[in-house]
């Protein structure tokens, strides 16, 4: 099915992105001519074995990782050609991490308030209302005065989701958001991410939890050795994988369960 894409609706665009890590043992080509777009409201899953480059790929979108060649655009802003400082471009993206990365010297509420006050410069009382609403949305309003150390992994990740949404990003980048969680805590995070996806949030999700990718995404991109091997609608990709490599990958991962 070929859809007509209005270029205005493209939130993320990667165009022939290459990334080469220089190491003492030679060059490591981790992203090879990666090109894809993510349009408004789409939820895209990036799957692949570890070392396939999926996390690196995600991190090029908010320039946590520099690229060797190619172009990355967020909301039509090209990191390479824009005169804006990088941190201003990053405002359009929110990100959650595998290891939550909450700021340990701030309580849950302060973690969410930081972006509101410092990045999008909301007035204090307005910021407080937004932050408390976000914490309520992730079910942690009662824990707002707790520091990250006294929250469980699932709770920390939920605060991190509220923190990422606070700056009202155009896209939410999720880097293995469930893989550092104890198995019984995975669902509380998955449920919230699915809820967020339902609100029409554009999302790009790196994961190796296939059931999560299936549950949350409309489109799946399979990466291996820094190459896009296969991509398509999530249901179709999982039901009828075309390439042998994806077939093998799916077989391997499902057998582990």
Pick 19 or 238: Cβ nearer other proteins: 19
**In the complex, least distance from residue 95 CB atom to other proteins, rounded to whole angstroms:** 4
Total chain residues near other proteins (CB under 8 A):
30
Interactions with other proteins, residue window 77-96 (CB under 8 A): 85, 87-88, 90-91, 93-95
Pick 39 or 55: Cβ nearer other proteins: 55
Mark 198-237 with x for binding to other proteins (rule: CB under 8 A) and - for no binding.
----------------------------------------
Q: Which helix (H) or strand (E) holds 159?
A: helix 153-166
> Is residue 226 within 8 Å of residue 32, measured between CB atoms?
yes
Pick 99 or 242: Cβ nearer other proteins: 99
149 lies in the binding site for other proteins (CB under 8 A)? yes
**In the complex, least distance from residue 92 CB atom to other proteins, rounded to whole angstroms:** 8
> Is residue 175 within 8 Å of residue 163, measured between CB atoms?
no
Q: Which of residues 163, 174, 197, 205 is near other proteins by CB under 8 A?
A: 163
Pick 88 or 233: Cβ nearer other proteins: 88
**In the complex, least distance from residue 113 CB atom to other proteins, rounded to whole angstroms:** 11
Separation of alpha carbons 2 and 122, rounded Å: 41
143 lies in the binding site for other proteins (CB under 8 A)? no
* Residue whose C-alpha is closest to residue 111's, from 145, 153, 63: 145
Which residues does 144 contact at the CB level (< 8 Å), separation at least 6? 107, 108, 109, 132, 135
Mark 101-120 with x for binding to other proteins (rule: CB under 8 A) and - for no binding.
xxxxxxx------xx--xx-
- Burial of 253: CB neighbours in 10 Å, binned 0-12, 13-18, 19+: middle
Which residues does 217 contact at the CB level (< 8 Å), separation at least 6? 43, 44, 45, 197, 203, 205, 234
62 lies in the binding site for other proteins (CB under 8 A)? yes
* Residue whose C-alpha is closest to residue 224's, from 53, 74, 90, 72: 53
Give the pair of three-digit tokens for residue 98.
């595998």
22 lies in the binding site for other proteins (CB under 8 A)? no
Separation of alpha carbons 173 and 151, rounded Å: 23
Residue numbers at the binding site for other proteins (CB under 8 A) = 62, 64, 85, 87-88, 90-91, 93-95, 97, 99, 101-107, 114-115, 118-119, 147, 149, 160, 163-164, 167, 173
């Amino acid at each position: 099915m070929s859809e007509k894409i209005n270029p205005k609706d493209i939130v993320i665009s990667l165009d022939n992105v290459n990334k080469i890590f220089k190491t003492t043992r030679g060059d490591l080509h981790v992203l090879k001519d990666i090109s894809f777009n993510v349009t408004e409201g789409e939820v895209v899953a990036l799957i692949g074995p570890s070392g396939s480059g999926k996390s690196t790929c995600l991190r090029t979108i908010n320039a946590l990782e520099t690229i060797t060649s190619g172009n990355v655009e967020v909301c039509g802003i090209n990191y390479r050609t824009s005169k804006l400082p990088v941190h201003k471009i990053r405002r359009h993206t929110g990100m959650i991490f595998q290891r939550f990365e909450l700021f340990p010297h701030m309580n849950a509420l302060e973690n969410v308030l930081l972006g509101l006050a410092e990045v999008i410069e909301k007035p204090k009382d307005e910021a407080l209302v937004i932050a408390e609403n976000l914490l309520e949305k992730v079910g942690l309003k009662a824990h707002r005065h707790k520091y990250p150390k006294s929250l469980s992994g699932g709770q920390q990740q939920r605060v991190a989701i509220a923190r990422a949404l606070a700056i009202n990003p155009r896209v939410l980048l999720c880097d293995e958001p469930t893989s550092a969680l104890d198995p019984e805590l995975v669902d509380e995070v998955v449920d919230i991410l699915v809820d967020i996806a339902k609100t029409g949030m554009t999302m790009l999700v790196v994961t190796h939890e296939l059931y999560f990718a299936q549950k949350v995404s409309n489109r799946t991109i399979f990466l291996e050795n820094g190459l896009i091997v296969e991509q398509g609608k999530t249901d179709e990709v999982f039901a009828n994988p075309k390439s042998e490599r994806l077939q093998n990958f799916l077989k391997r991962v499902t057998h582990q369960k």
